[in-house]
Chains A and B, each alone.
Chain A
Amino acid sequence: MKANIFGVSLLIAAVGGGANALSPVGVAEDAAVDPATGISLPDGFKATVFADDVGQARHIVAAPNGWVYVALRRSVRGMGAVALYDPDGDGRSTERQYFAEGLQGSGVGVHDGHLYYSTDTAVMRWPLPESGAPTGDATIIAEGFVPETQHASKNFTFDGDGNLYVNVGAPSNACMREMRKKGSPGMRPCPILEKYAGIWRFDADTPNQDQMSDGHLYSTGIRNGLALAWNTHADALYMAQHGRDQFASFFPEMFSNEQSAELPSEEFHRLDDGSDVGWPYSYYDHIKGERMVMPEYGGDGQTVSNEGQDPLVGFPGHWAPNGMMFLKSDAVPADYRKGAFIAFHGSWNRAPLPQQGYRVVYLPMDDDGNVSGDWVTFANGFAGPEPVMNPRNAVHRPMGLAEGPDGAIYISSLMSGGRVWKVTYEGE
């Protein structure tokens, strides 16, 4: 049933494409994958495998010097990042330099002539080299993040005014008194909100800023905002968060396995200074189109909440938005230029139903950052030909997104040894 509704909405989105020149069509759900790359793309786009077996690739950045830098979740021979280069421009890198000795991390970015990188406890930077891997010790920019196990990645982005925005995920599911224990109520006020579950803003150039004494809590109530990007067209911050897990484990009387697979929504938000997304007191239900009271806080799956702003879009549950990107160049057709590309890592929380979401989607937006149409799938096929009953059987899972100086799009995956694809628009 769910799958059907989903199919229909995709169809509507696809049909709608004909009516408006700026509504992209995306790639059809059943489009064949290119055997050379394992993925499918909309007509006119072409992919190459830019790099294979790089290690557990997380976020990526394509720098103005032509190199692609990849953060590694687990170090490779003691190195926590890798630099990749394709000298002859055929879409396949042949040069590879590992760096960031003794570190491992998730975030990477370029700002004002520097290469930034984050471990789970700090954001640091090197001067961006003319080519290849940076050398010497990195300068710490933001630090003091508490080491955690759950939602520990410190992904980040920059605005146009010299500010750095860092996601500090909540080491928690729903701020239950006892961690992930059935029947344990949520704490109010949730003490986790003090140091976590928000976006902290720092000066991008000042060394050694401490999260709590120097950082500014820019936006709160965010369980884990791994997909975080500055929209240069609208000059605003956007974020997609990972919704809470395990409705059916803790509240089987309110949520069937089917409902628990679909809910809560993965929420896509515009974040202004002082905004509150509502975690842990509320969640969003895209089927009802309402923000609901979290069951740990007295919700029953039916009661509407007034805590937290509504998202611009509620994506299906547990798809795990891990990367987000807004393009700056005009190398792609006009209907793909102003909106958000979101890389969904794919679910684990939909069992016993098949897992879903292993794809990159495109959400059309206008110059002012308003959503202007239904989202479409931009890249698909990552997980492989079979329905994914267990995420470990997914061949690839999209992770980071980046735009090269020439407008090429890069997509990373950390499965099967770690891969980076390069996607270009070649025309019809």
Chain B
Amino acid sequence: MKANRLFLMVALVATCFPATAQDTDAKRLYEENCGVCHQYDGGGVPMLQPELIGRPRANGPKGGVIEVILQGSTALAPTESDYGNEMPSFAHLSDLEIALIASYVRTHFENNGGPVTADDVKSRR
């Protein structure tokens, strides 16, 4: 719990700083929450976890990635899946943390979908 609150504070503070501080934070949040499955380079793992590079749900309309982070695998129709793992929901993260992660995904690994805001996340809860 304490760790969570600390997280939040760090994230909040980060919003007041220039882009670089937020970047570091976003990277850390991605690596802690997503990196093990989708790998640090966003390349995914064959047969288990999809790559996040150029995929419509990562890089297309910004709702896609936000919904997947909020709901995990339940955001995807079962027929969409060719993967031997399931993605958990990350709804316990704050709007800002999710926005930072989604923005990181959409502006790294050759993606260019552009950032999302905490309000974008909030409106999809």
Contact = CB atoms under 8 A, between A and B. Distances in A.
Interface of A: 56, 73-74, 149-152, 178-183, 245-246, 248-249, 252-253, 348-349, 351-352, 389-393, 414-415
A153 to B, nearest CB: 8
Contact of A152 (B36, B49, B84, B88): B84
B115 interface: no
Contact of A179 (B32, B41, B86): B86
Contacts of A180: 86, 88
Contacts of A56: 47
Contacts of A248: 36
A179 B31 CA distance: 19
A239 to B, nearest CB: 19
B36 A349 contact: yes
B71 interface: no
A149 B84 contact: yes
B30 to A, nearest CB: 12
B51 A352 contact: no
A248 B120 CA distance: 30
B46 interface: yes
B85 interface: yes
Contact of B44 (A151, A179, A245, A392): A392
A390 B85 contact: no
Nearest to A184: B88
B92 interface: yes
Nearest to B73: A149
Contact of B47 (A73, A151, A351, A390): A73
A206 B45 CA distance: 39
Contacts of A73: 47
A252 B32 contact: yes
A351 B39 contact: yes
Interface of B: 3, 31-33, 35-36, 39-41, 43-49, 51, 72-73, 81-86, 88-89, 92
A348 B45 contact: yes
Contacts of B88: 178-181
What's the dominant secondary structure at chain A's contact region?
Answer: loop
Contact of A150 (B3, B31, B43, B86): B86
B36 A249 contact: yes
Nearest to B34: A249
A391 B45 contact: yes
A352 B40 contact: yes
A415 B40 contact: no
B79 to A, nearest CB: 12
Nearest to B51: A392
A245 B84 contact: no
Contacts of A181: 88-89, 92
Contact of A352 (B31, B33, B49, B84): B31
A348 B92 contact: no
A248 B49 CA distance: 18
A246 B36 contact: yes
27 contacts: A149-B83, A149-B86, A150-B84, A150-B86, A152-B84, A178-B88, A179-B88, A180-B88, A181-B92, A246-B36, A248-B36, A249-B32, A249-B36, A348-B39, A348-B48, A348-B49, A351-B39, A352-B40, A389-B41, A390-B44, A391-B45, A391-B46, A392-B39, A392-B43, A392-B44, A393-B43, A414-B47
A149 B43 CA distance: 21
Contacts of A390: 39-41, 43-45
Contacts of B43: 390, 392-393
